[in-house]
Structure 1
């Protein structure tokens, strides 16, 4: 089974090559401004180095998100300890945090969020202290104590950026996991649907095989019995042989017609010339002139579901085939159908040698039992009282 053929298409995403180009362009767009901005702001070479230490690792943020975040966070700590003025490299932290929340686990994302909030508090204190210390000596602000009013604008601004990066990355990770689960669920449903179709086809092939067995076994058994009779009769009464051969031809044509119908089912065709399914009215056609079979059938035939009628027909057909094969040349049989309000009783009893059990383990009995059980019916097969063989079935209607 080709799973790729039936798997549903997932949501649109960049291909591997486009993803690599996007990562390269994004990281380059954050690295290159470090040079002109450092020059325009009059920052030192160390400030430029700090910016590059924070932005360059973003080239690998997708494959190694946790390692890149750790490196960027360490570079940010180094900047806070050695350089008190914000630099362009600070933009790398939310980008690294987004990548951590997007491509790593939820636990790692929470750790990154905690680091970011702590970093926001430290950066707020460092930058506020640097601004106050930058006032000229002698002013009243020299001994100024930093309060919450001074820290709050910096802290909440930085914390908002950190929280937004974490939230966007986490949402993207959750959405992708949800999409992946939907795609997998769709694939499983498609596989289950195909498996059900395969099982249904196998069941239908089994049913048709039972039909074919019934048709071929019955037709050939009648042909063989009639042909043997014609061979012996030809020596004494050629006219009887001619009539018998006519019966053989008729049975052969009927069997061929049913085989064409079954082959039409296998081909999936809808040929209107094919014969319909056998019914209860067709049971007398199973008995030939040379058979010693008594029919006890209700007249008119009771109205039963098509499936029940077909099952009854095939059960009688298989039973008479076994009578011809096993009961002996002079065996007599009785076919009896009794219809009640809620069931159809079928009985085929012969007075032959009682050796029909020789074929009881074959496909014929198995097919009969399966047909009856499909309709929640019961089947009893075994020696009849006083000798012979009996087949009795009860099929709910």
Structure 2
């Protein structure tokens, strides 16, 4: 068996839970690392506020909105207590990115609006003691706003991309499931077709062999020559059935054991009904056949011709199995025209025991007839005849 096809769209590589925890811890450590050499010069208040601003980033993935508001509160405290920037300012764009990346879009827009207000407030606070307050206010506001907007844009882009990739992966998996279902349905249809073919070949061949073998057994006592000829017919029928089975089983393999392609031959059709009738007569059944002229069946589609052949074959098989001795069978096949379409009409009827016979196992014969004919949009009727016997009739559009 071949391996299933890989997923059409693969997710990009992502960190696992442990990797994400380590990444956030290293990020917080990298933002706080400059405090070690600068801690004494910045003062205790600046160092404490920086720790409060950066520390919440450890939980930014699972609680992005809460972390953002915690960082916002710490920055508001910084504006009140200190009139200059601190190293903890770097936590702000990370918090904005986390909200835009992890939370729904409205939270991201709210974070962007708060960032604009915070940038103006911090810039105004830092410009109070500047020689050029307006220039300081403008430059700081633009810088802080641009940094916050960049974090928001990157987070929004990441969230949109993740949703897009998830949609592609989900669609790819759905397509794979649907393709697998189609393959399973096709395999089931193929198994049903093979079962019908095997039933037709085996049932037909064995029914002829059984009838001929019974005749040879009785003839062996009185007429050995008849028995010998009958056994030749049994052997010939058995060889034909085996050849047909080998042909069908060979189609299931890509190659035979020696690497050569399986031997193929044309499927039987309407032109082969003569041989089918002759075989039934050889088996001791009296058959009155009305078959179409070969010129009329030349342009009948191969599938329709094969279906008609199999229906007649199955009907004759059922006659030999169920109709009883000294039965007379009438086989009528014609290619008729109805308007612009042609129809293959066939009828096989006998005057034997008909419905009084025991049912054939699971009824695969009649079921196979109906399935074959329904594929071509035709109809099958099968049942007892008035006055005795059994009849099978079918109409197959050609």
- 1:291 lines up with 2:277 in the alignment: no
- Aligned match of 1:324: 320
Q: Is the contact between residue 9 and residue 172 of structure 2 (CA under 8 Å) also seen in structure 1?
A: no
CA distance in 2, matches of 1:5, 1:53: 51
Corresponding residue pairs, total: 381
- Aligned match of 1:192: 178
Q: Is the contact between residue 247 and residue 262 of structure 2 (CA under 8 Å) also seen in structure 1?
A: no
- 1:393 lines up with 2:389 in the alignment: no
- Aligned match of 1:261: 247
- Aligned match of 1:273: 263
User: Displacement of 1:220 after TM fit?
Assistant: 1.1
SS of residue in 2 equivalent to 1:228: helix
SS of residue in 1 equivalent to 2:346: strand
- Aligned match of 2:148: 162
Alignment of 1:5-44 (within 5 A): 6-16=6-16, 19-39=20-40, 42-44=41-43
- 1:113 lines up with 2:112 in the alignment: yes
- Aligned match of 2:329: 333
User: Displacement of 1:193 after TM fit?
Assistant: 0.9
Which range moves more in the overlay, 75-84 or 385-394? 385-394
Alpha-carbon RMSD: 2.6
Q: Show CA shifts across 1:69-103 (max 9, x none).
A: 22211211111121121111111101111012112
Residue 252 (structure 1) aligned to one of 238, 243, 255: 238
- Aligned match of 1:214: 200
User: Displacement of 1:228 after TM fit?
Assistant: 0.9
Alpha carbons of structure 1 residues 214 and 230: separation in structure 2 relative to 1, 3 Å: same
SS of residue in 1 equivalent to 2:354: coil
Which range moves more in the overlay, 90-99 or 347-356? 347-356
- Aligned match of 1:235: 221
- Structure 1 residue runs of 5 or longer lacking an equivalent are 136-140
Q: TM-score, normalised by structure 2?
A: 0.87
CA distance in 1, matches of 2:163, 2:310: 55
- Aligned match of 1:347: 347
Alpha carbons of structure 1 residues 6 and 118: separation in structure 2 relative to 1, 3 Å: same
Q: Is the contact between residue 9 and residue 168 of structure 2 (CA under 8 Å) also seen in structure 1?
A: no
Q: Show CA shifts across 1:316-342 (max 9, x none).
A: 111001111111111111212111341
Q: Is the contact between residue 257 and residue 275 of structure 1 (CA under 8 Å) also seen in structure 2?
A: no
- 1:310 lines up with 2:306 in the alignment: yes
SS of residue in 2 equivalent to 1:371: helix
CA distance in 2, matches of 1:157, 1:372: 79
CA distance in 2, matches of 1:6, 1:339: 50
Q: Is the contact between residue 286 and residue 317 of structure 1 (CA under 8 Å) also seen in structure 2?
A: yes
Q: Is the contact between residue 328 and residue 352 of structure 1 (CA under 8 Å) also seen in structure 2?
A: yes
CA distance in 2, matches of 1:66, 1:4: 42
Q: Is the contact between residue 356 and residue 389 of structure 1 (CA under 8 Å) also seen in structure 2?
A: no
Alpha carbons of structure 1 residues 150 and 86: separation in structure 2 relative to 1, 3 Å: closer
CA distance in 2, matches of 1:372, 1:386: 27
- Aligned match of 1:52: 51
Q: TM-score, normalised by structure 1?
A: 0.88
- Aligned match of 2:188: 202
SS of residue in 2 equivalent to 1:340: strand
Q: Is the contact between residue 62 and residue 99 of structure 1 (CA under 8 Å) also seen in structure 2?
A: yes
Alpha carbons of structure 1 residues 4 and 280: separation in structure 2 relative to 1, 3 Å: closer
SS of residue in 1 equivalent to 2:119: helix
- Structure 2 residue runs of 5 or longer lacking an equivalent are none
Which range moves more in the overlay, 361-370 or 316-325? 361-370
Alpha carbons of structure 1 residues 27 and 276: separation in structure 2 relative to 1, 3 Å: farther
Q: Is the contact between residue 355 and residue 383 of structure 2 (CA under 8 Å) also seen in structure 1?
A: no
SS of residue in 1 equivalent to 2:292: coil
Which range moves more in the overlay, 264-273 or 205-214? 264-273
CA distance in 1, matches of 2:25, 2:218: 96
SS of residue in 2 equivalent to 1:235: helix
